[in-house]
Each structure stands twice: as structure tokens, then as C-alpha cells.
């Protein structure tokens, strides 16, 4: 036998002498505190020692069931009584039954109070799919002032976990704080209810969970515990794997090592005890345990504190039962509710009334007249609000006042929808009243005005509009957390109908134009000229300089043929400046006369430049249309601190800009930009709508105001001419404002955070802040100039052409210096002859004289092998005959008028010889190798030479 409150030494001696000495393999710990008293510390110490020794414990604790199992951190306990998890599940089932979503938890410093709170949270997580709970407060009671938190809370339902004695003090103080009335429900755990007559401090209508803790029940549980032990031993012994293991602990408190202080087989034996299944009576499920050693199936009674037969006495009466195995079902009959009411309380604060002041500002609060027939606001028009002064409507009947739109209008907008959500969640009624002086609230002439003044003078309970939070206002009123971020922004209008005078240069950026003009054109010009100079088949500039003053003249020979001879000329036809003309003409595809190079390499380089020009013009023309359209220009300010605004006199002409007086924007500018504030007084507008209209009409260059409001008005602009520019200045937020030390601040703060977390604020913002036009800064141009990297491929093409042309120049020199000379000497019909024919043909094609030789050879041998060639040849001869006849006719006409015709270069009798017997061994062809000052053949001679070619 031990005393009810043994000392730790006594508990240790009892274990060493009475338990370990007889080799116990399990301990049955059954205790009824309600009858035999309480000693939580000693019980906890005892169970901790048992766990340290590795001896399994089968427990039944009538008072704090499951408490010691958690507190002792022992993993070798089996709990036969309903655990804390079962109790919290039953208590939350009551809350779910009556739709009480929010509650508070009140505990004392009883051992395991943290476990109780944790069990509640875990149960809420399990139930969140079907029912959402919110824990408003978790109060640890140590003194009476701890309960003040519940007074200022919205909670009307409390879960109480403590001892019976502690509950008397808690509920006595709660009664003094008036939180035990008819609107408050207290739900107690098993340890509070206990047995016997309830204390008078307990309020009528309390609810609680309970299970049988009588002595009879204790005896019954002893039988169950023995069965659990017996079935565990049987399963352990019958398992062949345990043949070499014994249930004798062989532990001693006198051992020197750890091996003698813990029973290693205890963990294994505990698993067999945990897996047993004991049949139960009266159709209840078998006694089985979870992996944590807790009963799988438990039954709890739902108790209600109500007046007994003697009206002065209170009794706990069973009104229902909770069974975990029946879907955790709850069966409850008639309940006496707090205040002897027969209807359950709401579980939320009773409705209260608030006077709310506002000032209209779209999209937060906007006004519209009510329906003229019903004198009510439609769903899309919001709620009825008073816009007149209180004394103006004091003597009027309500119906007449509502019909007059100058007294009452319909308020709608972001803040009104948010207010409706608050009213629904918190359960209050309200009256919306417009501030009388129509000002936001600034400190002027030693006093506050507008909305802030109403709060300071306590003419209103709350301000609900787009009231910006700043340090001055926070010094005199209380704000909630911001429901929307904002700052000072600038609105400007776009000026249309302007085309940039440099639009034709804008398809490319400056770097690209510089690369084309300075690098590409110069590189192409000098490479073409250089390749022509160095090419063997090109103009020999050294030779041509000596004959620079020579050109061809046509002379009639003795046999009547036209002979072309070289005569002095003024200049050379292919020079550096003519190369520039060729490059520019090819680049812009100009239809003008150009001089082409003669060398093969320079011709190839000219073709590469032509390819570059094609790419350049294609890209240029493709992008030019985007820059030749009508532009939309606007004043692009960087922000309020832009020097053109903050120092208005520094820019000529000065910009015209303003804001609305007595607003947050006006007071901020007045504080930080004195010169700017003084300048813009002449341009201020009484309302935001007037300011936006002035910007649209051109009366103002810019309007400065709250960023979110300007974004909304920009989005609503029908012509989409408005936009906001620059970054926000003095960023802050909009908040709900209350009088100093208002009891509603915490209530609304918590709801605002919930709305932000669940996305309600974001949904409202998207609904009210959208419009036809997108707000924010827009670009000046619809297209951006092409940067150098986007045009780089064309330059790579040109550079590749230069490199390839240089390689071809090298091979051209090799060909003319070695291969052509060698192949010209060998004409034996072999491979070299074949190469010679090809090379000679190429050599001819590389020069104008070679082309003449080719034409002479064709005419000499008449190598026409198809009818088309013969037809062309006959046609040419026929045209020559007609020309000859025309010449004769002109000569006769001159003779008839007494005019002697000039000497002809081509005699008629010998004209036909031109096509048949010309001496082709000499160069008789007029070329473009010389200057333009030389004698030119007439048209007939040119036609004859073209025919020959």
C-alpha cells in the first residue's frame, strides 16, 4: 500500500522491491481520481519510470484519460479509457451539429493542456473537407485578466479543459466579465464534469463529454485489462519466433550497467499486447488499439447542465451519446441552452449597429440614384446611403427622404462590396452617411477636417472609403491593415495626328545606319574599285592613264568600210567616283546610267553588293510602314519628383498640372515640394473627374492623384487616350479608419487578413479595377527600330562576299598568268586542248574585245543551226537595206534643194559588204573604255555595230 501522493523516492522503491523483484512483464494501471483523489505528478513519474524500464503498461485513467501517455513520452502504453482525441472529436461534433464555425479554447496549467490543444487542431484538419472551423483564441488561464481576451473576441463558443476545481475559478471570473450569458456556450471535457453535484459557479446550459467513471466501471475495466494481458501472453508464447525469449524481466535496481536496467523484450511483447482483440458486451465493437496504443472504438456521453427538481440545484443530465464506430455519429435530444433558452445560440456575436462615413470616389464608392418606383437600390446599384446633412432630413419622413435623390442615393463599388462581406461575417447592421464637408481629412489651420475630423469627434464609428494611410492620420485615428496598395501617380493624355519628321530613318537604329553608311558603302566601293584595279581582266589603270586622252573615231576606209581608231579622250570612264555612283545606284535600285566594271572579280563583288542591297531594301520597306503611321505622343514624366514638375519654372514652356485640394496627394506635395505646390494651385480641380476631363480636353498637361484611382479612370476612358506615366510616389495603402482605441479594429483586422488569404480581396479588385483600356504606361511607338543584331546577317553576307571575291581574285591572277598562257600554246585535241578551249572562251567573256571576236567569228562562218538564228540574221540584213534606201532618199532631197550632202562614212555600194567581208583582224569596235568627250558614231553606225555584236 502506498499513500495517494507518494514521493518520487517512494515510487522508485515500490518499483524496485514490489515489481522488479517478482519479474513483472506488464503493469495494469487503473485509477479513479474522482473517488480516490488526484496526484498527477506522482502518476506521471510512475509511468515515466515504467517506460524507462521497458515494461508495458495497460492503463485506465478516469480523469485525464490519455494524459500520462503523452506526457511520459512512453511508447509502451495501452489506454482503455477514451483518449483526448476521442473527447475533442466528440466536442467538435457538437459544434458541427449546430453550425458553430468559430470558437476559443480555454485551458488551465493542467498536465497535458498542450496535448488537448494539439488534438483539437489535428481534428480540425481532418474535418476541413466537410466543415471549416476557426480557432479564434487559445487562452491559458493563470489569472482572471487572462479572460479579457475573450471579452474583445468574436468567440461565443468555448472549449474548456481543466480540473473541476480550476473550472470553478475560471467560470466564476467569466461570469463577472459577462461571457457566460445566453449568447455564450461552454463545452467542457471529462475532467471538468467529473461526478457529484455540479458547483453553483457553472452556468446553466453548459455542455460536456463524459464516460462512466464509477467503481463498477473500474472493476469492469480491470477485467478487460486482464484479458488484454492474457491474450497478449498467449500470442507471444504461441509464436515460434519467441521460443528462445522469456517474459521474465530479470531487472534489478542494483545493476551496474544499462543492460540490467531495461527489459529488451518489452518492446516486442508490447506489440503483441497492442494487436489483441477482446470481445465486448452489449454489441459494442471489440476492444482493439491503434498504433499509438489508443482505443479504436470509444463511446462518450453528451451531458447538459440544467436545473434539477429543486430549482436551486443544478444537475448534469445525459442528453445524447457519441459513438466513434458509427461514423462518429451524434445523437442528442432536448437541450437546455444558456439562459434557460430552448433555442441554440448563434455561436457568433449578436448583431450590432455601426454608423459608417464615406466620401465617393470611383471605383471604391460611387453614387447612383435609387429606383424611382420602389425607392430601393437594385442589386447592381449597391445599398442606400445618405448624402445630405443629418439636420436636413431630421424633420422629413423616411419614405419621402428616400425618394429624393438629393438626400439619399445608392452607393456601390469596391468598398461597398467589402462592407457587405464584413456585415455578413461579423453580423452587424450599418448606416452609410456621406461626410458633410466633402473633404478627405487634412490638418488645416490647427484643426482636422473631413473624414478624420468625424472620427476624432466620434460622430461616426468607422470610415469606409479609399482613405489613404499616412503618418499624420495614424497619429489621431486607428487604421486596419491595408486592403489595397496605392501611391501618387500622374495621368496624361495622348496627342494624336503627329508623324515624326524623321520617320523614314526609324526602321533602323542609329548603329545600323552608321554601319550601312560608314562601313558597308565604303567597304563595297573600295573593294569593287580595288578588285577592278588588281584584276588581270579589268582596266589597267597604269596603261589607261597614259592613254587617258584618247578615244575612238570612225573613218571611212578605201573599200567603203567604217574603221574605228583611237583618238585622245578627256577622262577615263571607270573611276572611284563612278564606283560610288554604281554602289549608290545598286543600293537604292535607281534607274540611272552606270558604268560597270570589266574584271570578273569586281563583277562578282558588285553582285554580292546587289544581294546585300536586296536584303537591306526588303527589311527597310517591310518596317517603314509601321513608322509612317500617325503617332500618339504624350508627356512622359518619371514621377512626381520629375524636375519638369517639381521645378515647374525651369522648363519653357511650363507644364500645366494640378490635383484636388485637401487630399492626401495635395498635403504630400505641400510638405515635400513647396514650389510645386504653390505653382499648381491655379490648376487644381475640385474633383478627380474634373481633373481627368481637363487632361482630356488639353486644359491640363497632367493630373496628379492616387495611383489606383487613376488606373481605374484610365481603364474606363472610352477613347483610350488616357494613360498613367512614371512610378508611384509615396507608396502607402487604403485602410478602414476607426476612432482611437475602438473595439472594432481587431475584429475587422482579422477579417481583412482572412479575405486576403482566401482571395476575396483579389476577386473584388479584379471585378472593379478592370475596363476597356489597360492602365499603365504605354510606349510611344507601335514598333521598335531594328537593332544591329537583328540586321547583322546582311552584313555577314557582304563580308563573306568580300572574302570570297578576294579568293577569286587570287585564282584569276593564277589563271591569266599561268594556265591561260600554257593552254593557248597547246591545241592538240587532248585534255589540255579541251582546257584551252574553255579557258579561251572564259578569257573572251572576261573582256569586251573577246565578245567582239566571238561576234566576228559567228558572222564569218554563219554558224546558225536553227531557224530562229537565220530569221534574226535575215531581219538584220533587211533593216540594213531599208536604212541604206532611206539614206539615198535623204541625199536626193538635199540635192533637190541645192544642198550638197556631207561625205558619207559608209558608201551605199559597199554597205552590203559590212555583213560579209569585214576585216576582223583589227579592233574596229567602239567601246566604253574611254571618255565621253570623243566623237560618237551616229545612230546608224551604232545600230550596225550592235548588229555585228
Residues belonging to the binding site for L-glutamate are 473, 665, 706
- How far apart, in whole angstroms, are the C-alpha atoms of residue 378 and residue 363? 18
> Are residues 365 and 411 in contact, defined by beta-carbon separation less than 8 angstroms?
yes
Per DSSP, 164 falls in state H
Residue with cell 481629412: 441
**Cα angle 642, 646, 650; round to 5:** 95
Residue with cell 496549467: 109
- How far apart, in whole angstroms, are the C-alpha atoms of residue 841 and residue 920? 18
Q: Which cell goes with 299? A: 463511446
- How far apart, in whole angstroms, are the C-alpha atoms of residue 836 and residue 342? 125
Q: Which cell goes with 154? A: 468574436
Q: Which cell goes with 255? A: 545493476
Q: For residue 106, which phi and psi values (nearest 5 degrees)?
A: -120, 120
Q: Which cell goes with 864? A: 546558225
> Are residues 696 and 741 in contact, defined by beta-carbon separation less than 8 angstroms?
no
Angle between helices 414-426 and 760-768 in degrees, nearest 10 = 150
> Are residues 452 and 476 in contact, defined by beta-carbon separation less than 8 angstroms?
yes
- How far apart, in whole angstroms, are the C-alpha atoms of residue 224 and residue 79? 11
Q: Which cell goes with 861? A: 562562218
Residues 802-835 as b or e (16 or more Cβ within 10 Å = b): beebeebbeebeebbeeebeebeeeeeeeebeee
Per DSSP, 214 falls in state S
Kind and range of the H or E run holding 185: strand 185-188
Q: Which cell goes with 407? A: 438626400
Helices (H), 200-314: 215-238, 266-274
Question: Nearest CA to 137 among 178, 105, 173?
Answer: 105
- How far apart, in whole angstroms, are the C-alpha atoms of residue 105 and residue 189? 11
Per DSSP, the residues of 871-915 read HHHHHHHHHHHHHHHHHHHHHHHHHHTT-PPPPPSS-STTGGGGG
Determine the length of the chain: 949
- How far apart, in whole angstroms, are the C-alpha atoms of residue 57 and residue 72? 12
What number of other Cβ atoms are within 10 A of residue 71's Cβ?
18
The β-bridge partners of 185 are 157
Per DSSP, the residues of 232-249 read HHHHHHH-GGGTT--S--
Q: Which cell goes with 683? A: 490648376
Kind and range of the H or E run holding 68: helix 67-71
Question: Nearest CA to 454 among 570, 358, 314?
Answer: 358
> Are residues 734 and 481 in contact, defined by beta-carbon separation less than 8 angstroms?
no
Residue 885, CA distances (Å) to 289, 871, 881, 918 in order: 132, 21, 6, 21
Task: Tell me the pairing of strands 102-107 and 134-140.
Answer: parallel
What number of other Cβ atoms are within 10 A of residue 190's Cβ?
27
Binding residues: 473, 665, 706
Helices and strands, counts by H and E, the chain:
34, 29
Residues 342-371 as b or e (16 or more Cβ within 10 Å = b): eeebbbbbeeeebebbbbbbbbbbbbeebe
Amino acid at each position: 500500500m502506498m499513500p495517494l501522493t507518494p514521493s518520487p523516492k517512494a515510487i522508485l522503491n515500490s518499483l524496485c522491491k514490489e515489481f522488479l523483484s517478482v519479474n513483472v512483464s506488464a503493469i495494469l494501471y487503473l485509477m479513479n481520481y474522482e473517488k480516490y483523489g488526484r496526484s498527477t505528478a506522482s502518476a506521471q513519474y510512475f509511468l515515466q519510470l515504467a517506460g524507462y524500464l521497458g515494461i508495458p503498461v495497460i492503463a485506465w485513467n478516469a480523469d485525464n484519460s490519455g494524459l500520462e501517455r503523452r506526457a511520459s513520452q512512453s511508447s509502451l502504453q495501452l489506454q482503455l479509457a477514451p483518449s483526448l482525441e476521442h473527447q475533442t472529436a466528440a466536442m467538435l461534433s457538437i459544434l458541427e451539429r449546430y453550425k458553430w464555425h468559430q470558437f476559443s479554447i480555454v485551458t488551465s496549467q493542467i498536465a497535458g493542456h498542450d496535448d488537448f490543444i494539439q488534438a483539437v487542431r489535428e481534428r480540425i484538419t481532418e474535418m476541413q473537407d466537410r466543415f471549416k472551423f476557426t480557432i479564434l483564441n487559445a487562452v491559458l488561464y493563470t489569472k482572471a485578466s487572462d479572460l479579457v481576451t475573450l471579452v474583445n473576441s468574436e468567440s461565443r463558443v468555448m472549449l474548456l479543459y481543466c480540473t473541476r476545481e480550476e473550472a470553478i475559478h475560471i467560470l466564476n471570473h467569466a461570469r463577472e466579465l459577462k461571457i457566460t450569458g445566453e449568447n455564450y456556450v461552454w463545452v467542457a471535457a471529462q475532467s471538468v464534469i467529473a461526478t457529484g453535484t455540479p458547483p453553483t459557479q457553472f452556468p446553466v446550459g453548459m455542455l460536456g463529454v463524459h464516460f462512466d467513471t464509477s467503481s463498477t466501471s473500474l472493476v469492469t475495466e480491470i477485467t478487460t485489462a486482464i484479458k488484454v494481458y492474457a491474450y497478449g501472453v498467449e500470442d507471444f508464447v504461441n509464436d515460434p519466433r519467441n521460443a528462445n525469449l522469456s517474459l521474465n524481466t530479470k531487472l534489478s535496481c542494483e545493476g551496474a550497467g544499462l543492460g540490467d536496467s531495461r527489459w529488451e523484450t518489452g518492446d516486442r511483447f508490447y506489440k503483441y499486447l497492442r494487436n489483441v482483440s477482446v470481445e465486448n458486451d452489449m454489441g459494442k465493437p471489440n476492444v482493439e488499439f491503434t498504433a499509438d496504443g489508443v482505443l479504436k472504438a470509444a463511446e462518450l456521453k453528451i451531458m447538459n447542465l440544467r436545473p434539477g427538481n429543486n430549482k436551486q440545484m443544478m444537475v448534469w443530465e445525459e442528453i445524447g451519446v457519441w459513438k466513434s464506430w458509427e461514423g462518429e455519429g451524434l445523437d442528442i435530444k432536448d437541450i437546455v441552452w444558456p439562459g434557460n433558452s430552448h433555442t441554440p445560440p448563434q455561436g457568433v456575436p449578436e448583431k450590432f449597429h455601426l454608423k459608417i462615413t464615406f466620401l465617393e470616389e470611383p471605383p471604391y464608392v460611387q453614387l447612383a440614384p435609387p429606383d424611382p418606383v420602389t425607392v430601393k437600390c437594385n442589386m447592381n446599384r449597391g445599398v442606400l446611403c445618405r448624402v445630405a446633412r443629418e439636420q436636413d432630413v431630421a424633420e422629413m419622413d423616411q419614405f419621402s427622404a428616400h425618394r429624393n435623390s438629393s438626400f439619399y442615393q445608392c452607393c456601390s463599388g469596391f468598398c461597398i462590396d467589402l462592407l457587405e462581406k464584413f456585415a455578413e461575417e461579423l453580423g452587424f447592421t450599418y448606416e452609410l452617411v456621406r461626410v458633410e464637408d466633402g473633404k478627405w481629412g487634412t490638418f488645416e489651420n490647427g484643426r482636422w477636417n473631413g473624414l478624420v475630423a468625424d472620427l476624432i469627434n466620434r460622430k461616426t464609428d468607422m470610415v469606409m472609403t479609399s482613405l489613404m494611410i499616412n503618418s499624420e492620420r495614424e497619429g489621431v485615428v486607428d487604421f486596419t491593415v491595408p486592403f489595397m496598395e496605392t501611391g501618387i501617380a500622374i495621368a496624361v493624355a495622348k496627342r494624336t495626328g503627329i508623324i515624326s519628321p524623321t520617320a523614314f530613318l526609324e526602321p533602323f537604329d542609329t548603329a545600323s545606319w552608321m554601319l550601312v553608311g560608314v562601313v558597308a558603302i565604303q567597304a563595297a566601293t573600295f573593294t569593287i574599285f580595288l578588285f577592278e584595279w588588281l584584276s588581270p581582266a579589268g582596266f589597267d589603270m597604269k596603261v589607261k592613264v597614259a592613254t587617258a586622252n584618247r578615244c575612238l573615231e570612225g573613218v571611212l576606209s578605201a573599200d567603203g568600210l567604217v574603221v574605228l581608231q583611237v583618238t585622245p579622250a578627256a577622262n577615263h570612264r571607270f573611276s572611284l567616283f563612278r564606283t560610288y555612283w554604281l554602289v549608290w545606284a545598286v543600293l537604292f535600285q535607281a534607274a540611272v546610267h552606270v558604268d560597270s566594271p570589266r574584271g570578273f572579280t569586281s563583277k562578282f563583288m558588285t553582285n554580292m553588293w546587289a544581294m546585300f542591297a536586296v536584303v537591306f531594301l526588303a527589311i527597310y520597306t517591310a518596317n517603314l510602314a509601321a513608322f509612317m503611321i500617325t503617332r500618339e505622343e504624350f508627356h512622359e514624366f518619371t514621377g512626381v519628383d520629375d524636375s519638369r514638375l517639381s521645378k515647374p519654372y525651369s522648363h519653357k514652356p511650363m507644364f500645366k498640372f494640378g490635383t484636388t485640394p485637401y487630399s492626401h496627394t495635395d498635403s504630400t506635395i505641400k510638405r515635400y515640394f513647396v514650389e510645386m505646390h504653390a505653382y499648381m494651385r491655379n490648376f487644381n480641380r475640385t474633383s478627380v473627374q474634373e481633373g481627368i476631363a481637363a487632361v482630356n480636353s488639353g486644359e491640363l498637361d497632367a493630373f496628379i492623384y492616387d495611383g489606383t484611382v487613376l488606373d481605374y479612370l484610365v481603364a474606363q476612358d472610352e477613347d483610350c487616350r488616357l494613360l498613367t506615366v512614371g512610378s508611384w510616389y509615396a507608396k502607402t495603402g487604403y485602410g478602414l479608419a476607426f476612432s482611437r482605441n475602438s473595439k472594432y479594429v481587431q475584429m475587422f483586422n482579422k477579417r481583412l487578413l482572412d479575405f486576403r488569404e482566401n482571395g476575396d480581396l483579389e476577386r473584388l479588385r479584379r471585378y472593379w479595377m478592370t475596363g476597356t483600356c489597360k492602365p499603365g504606361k504605354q510606349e510611344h511607338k507601335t514598333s521598335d527600330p531594328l537593332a544591329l543584331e537583328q540586321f547583322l546577317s546582311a552584313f555577314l553576307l557582304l563580308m563573306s562576299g568580300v572574302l570570297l571575291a578576294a579568293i577569286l581574285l587570287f585564282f584569276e591572277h593564277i589563271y591569266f598568268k599561268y594556265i591561260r598562257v600554257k593552254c593557248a600554246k597547246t591545241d592538240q585535241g587532248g585534255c589540255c586542248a579541251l582546257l584551252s578551249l574553255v579557258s579561251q572562251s572564259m578569257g573572251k567573256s572576261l573582256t569586251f574585245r573577246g565578245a567582239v571576236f566571238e561576234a566576228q567569228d559567228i558572222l564569218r562562218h554563219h554558224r546558225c543551226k536553227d531557224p530562229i538564228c537565220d530569221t534574226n540574221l535575215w531581219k538584220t540584213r533587211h533593216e540594213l537595206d531599208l536604212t541604206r534606201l532611206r539614206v539615198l532618199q535623204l541625199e536626193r532631197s538635199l540635192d533637190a534643194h541645192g544642198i550638197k550632202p556631207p561625205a558619207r562614212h559608209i558608201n551605199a555600194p559597199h554597205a552590203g559588204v559590212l555583213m560579209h567581208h569585214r576585216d576582223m583582224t583589227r579592233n574596229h569596235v567602239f567601246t566604253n573604255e574611254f571618255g565621253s568627250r570623243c566623237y560618237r558614231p551616229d545612230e546608224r553606225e551604232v545600230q550596225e555595230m550592235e548588229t555585228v555584236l
